[in-house]
Amino acid sequence: MDTHLAMLILMLVSIAAGCLGALTGLGGGVVIMPVLIIGFGVDVRYAIGASLVAVIATSSGSAAAYVRDGFTNVRLGILLEVATVAGAIVGALIAAYVNTDAIIVLFVCALFYSAHATLRPPASRPIDLIPDPLATRLKLNSSYPTSKGDTPYSVHNVPGGLLLMGGAGVLSAMVGIGSGIVKVFAMDRLMRLPFKVSTTTSNFMIGVTAAASSAVYLHRGQIEPQIAGPVAFGALIGALVGARILPRVNTYWLRRIFACVVIVSGIELVRRTFT
């Protein structure tokens, strides 16, 4: 395919990916990877490099807004980032030695889990205010804005959260996605935070995790400007647009359709790899 045309198409697709990522929370990574691998036949390692950069683009924009609105627990985010960054670096390093077929399988598993998690409603439970001593020591308990004013909450299970975040970091680096779903799961279910705090804090962290692994990929020569350039720019524009139109869009059906498309692309990816 002519390179000019390819880069143009890639940019347009990335705009769509960034927009969908901002609207559904399923991130640019899960769209960019199949498009690059199936659509353009790009080698997995270049695809991951480009996808990670797209993840930074998609998440950083919206993260700024959430911090400003008071939902993000910045201390918790920074603390958990110690684990995700460590995991991301480990993951980026070992990814070089892992068979690309295994990486694709891992990616598809993450893909299916993400689609499933998007369709599942968040755990509904009253806020657990019994303080956890470790969390209190680490100054993690906080409050968030609700219709009733500033509502306090407490954080639990910090070691478990750190462990899961390490895993999320490794996954993110090996497979080129944001792992936001794993992060939200850890904070929502394990650490028992209010859902909005989980999603916004996760968004806060995703960019840093992707930056940690992107840096390793960059130095290893896996970020190819002709691919990552259009992808990053497109995702940036798309995420900005998506964040703008989010209040006016009914995401219920969008998420369902998107989840189906994502699952189909995962199946196709496996089919192509193993037949």
Partner 1 sequence: MEVILAKLLTSMMAVAGTTILIGLVLAFVHQPQGIQGLRVFTAFTTFKTADAPYRTLLEIRDGLFAGDGLAIVQLGLFMLIATPIVRVCVSLILFARVRDWMYVSISALVLTGLALGLLGWIQ
Instruction: Using CB under 8 A, list all residues that contact partner 1.
Output: 1-4, 6-7, 11, 40-46, 53, 56-57, 60-61, 63-65, 67-68, 74-75, 78-79, 81-82, 85-86, 88-89, 92-93, 138-139, 207-208, 210-216, 218-230, 232-233, 236-237
Identify the H or E element spanning 143.
strand 142-146
Q: Which is nearer to partner 1, 196 or 220 (CB)?
A: 220
Q: Are 199 and 25 in contact (CB under 8 A)?
A: yes
d(CA 14, CA 35): 9
Length of the chain, in residues: 275
By three-state DSSP, how is residue 250 classified?
Answer: coil
The smaller minimum CB distance to partner 1, of residues 97 and 253, is found at 97
Minimum gap (Å) between residue 75 Cβ and partner 1? 6
Least CB distance from residue 252 to partner 1, whole Å?
29
Residue 219 or 271: which CB sits closer to partner 1?
Answer: 219
Indicate the helix (H) or strand (E) that contains 142: strand 142-146
Q: How far is the CB of 260 from partner 1 (least distance, A)?
A: 28
Residues 6 or more apart whose CB falls under 8 angstroms from that of 26 comprise 20, 114, 115, 118, 181, 255, 258, 259, 262
Closest CA to 3 of 227, 163, 271: 227
- Closest contact distance (angstroms) between CB of 36 and partner 1 is 9
Q: Closer to partner 1 at the Cβ: 48 or 193?
A: 48
